[in-house]
């Protein structure tokens, strides 16, 4: 089979920002979110989660209310023609409120109360567990610079980007993994997506409290050696960053991810300094966290 030339496509991330999902079309798989309900309930927004719980609660009570309503005076002191009376009795039964004005008065009604009480126990237990699971998921407040830059460092072109901990605590044993992803074509004309690890001058720190500037020297051993912004854009190049560490407050492992596509890597630029002194104390100016300065000579007027 003949292999045609590759077609240039717009840059798309495979490592998205936190809370995002990759924009990938999966062909040939069954796209049914209800097949993985637990994962769905953990990943949807809080508004969607609460709305789903509320709808489920109302549906369950409506189903039991219909069963009570069709039971021919199964509920004492309830209007047999009023569906709302049956609905409110169902709510009282599921919540174990039991005001006393309405109560089951037939064998049919008593068995429905038994069944609804059991269903209510299961629903409340699962809802409580899901709320706890969502609250207990360890999260991070790690921020990355909007751009990565390439600038000389001790005479060697160096890829640099910034990261910072926005919380007022420390991350213990923090580690960074940086990977270059790009399209390549084999001698047989096959298109492959290749991954290359980028070695950092410092890939881990025992204590991450404020900021961290990651550096990768672009020497002859670097996968970025000889690359330019145009060549990275042509091969759909992307720098993937993963940071992990132990949050000292909750004593759980947290992680954060980020990526830089070719348009977000600025060559011949340098980050502006954010460290200084305020009286006798060290200061960090986060207002300049993303500010860069061009190293290219300005054109003569």
Per-residue pLDDT reduced to its tens digit, 211-224: 899 999 999 999 99
Q: Answer whether residue 21 shows pLDDT above 80.
A: no
The CATH number that domain 33-136 falls under is 1.10.287.70
Beta strands in the chain (DSSP E): 75-76, 103-104, 142-144, 148-153, 156-165, 171-185, 191-197, 204-208, 211-217, 238-247, 252-261, 265-267, 269-271, 275-278, 281-284, 292-294
Per-range mean pLDDT, top range of 1-10, 33-42, 96-105, 243-252: 243-252
Residue 108 has pLDDT above 70, yes or no: yes
Decide: 182 and 224 in contact? Cβ < 8 Å: no
pTM listed for this prediction: 0.72
Lowest-pLDDT choice from 27-41, 177-191, 263-277: 27-41
**Average pLDDT of the segment spanning 62-74:** 89
DSSP H or E run through 128: helix 107-136
> Domain-by-domain residue ranges, the chain?
33-136, 142-294
Contact 33, 48 (CB under 8 A): no
For 142-294, CATH number?
A: 2.60.40.1400
pLDDT in tens, 89-107: 999 999 888 767 888 888 9
Taking the CA atoms of residue 10, residue 12, residue 17 and residue 20 in that order, the dihedral angle to the nearest 10 degrees is: 110
Answer whether 236's CB lies under 8 Å from 259's CB: no
Distance from C-alpha of 265 to C-alpha of 147, rounded to nearest angstrom: 6
For residue 3, what pLDDT is reported? 38
pLDDT for 131 equals: 93
The stretch 234-259 carries a mean pLDDT of 91
């Amino acid at each position: 089979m003949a292999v045609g030339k590759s077609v240039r496509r717009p840059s798309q991330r495979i490592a998205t920002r936190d809370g995002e999902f990759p924009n990938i079309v999966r062909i040939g798989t069954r796209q049914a979110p209800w097949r993985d309900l637990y994962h769905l309930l953990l990943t949807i927004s809080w508004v969607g989660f609460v709305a789903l719980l509320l709808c489920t609660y109302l549906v369950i009570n409506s189903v039991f209310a219909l069963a009570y309503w069709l039971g021919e005076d199964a509920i004492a002191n309830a209007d047999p023609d009023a569906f709302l009376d049956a609905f409110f009795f169902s709510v009282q039964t599921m919540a174990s409120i039991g005001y006393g004005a309405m109560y089951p008065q037939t064998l049919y009604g008593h068995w429905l109360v038994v069944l609804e009480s059991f269903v209510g126990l299961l629903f409340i237990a699962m809802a409580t567990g899901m709320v706890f699971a969502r609250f207990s998921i360890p999260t991070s407040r790690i921020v990355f610079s909007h751009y990565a830059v390439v600038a000389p460092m001790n005479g060697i072109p160096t890829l640099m980007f910034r990261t910072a901990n926005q919380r007022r605590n420390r991350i213990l044993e923090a580690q960074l993994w940086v990977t270059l992803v790009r399209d390549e074509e084999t001698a047989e004309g096959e298109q492959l997506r290749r991954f290359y690890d980028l070695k950092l001058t410092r890939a881990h720190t025992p204590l991450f409290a404020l900021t961290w500037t990651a550096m990768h020297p672009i020497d002859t051993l670097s996968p970025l050696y000889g690359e330019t912004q145009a060549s990275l854009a042509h091969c759909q190049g992307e720098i993937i960053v993963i940071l992990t560490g132990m949050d000292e407050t909750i004593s759980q492992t947290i992680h954060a991810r980020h990526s830089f596509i070719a348009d977000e890597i600025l060559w011949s630029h340098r980050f502006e300094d954010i460290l200084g002194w305020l009286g006798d104390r060290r200061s960090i100016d986060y207002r300049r966290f993303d500010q860069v300065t061009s190293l290219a000579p300005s054109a003569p007027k």
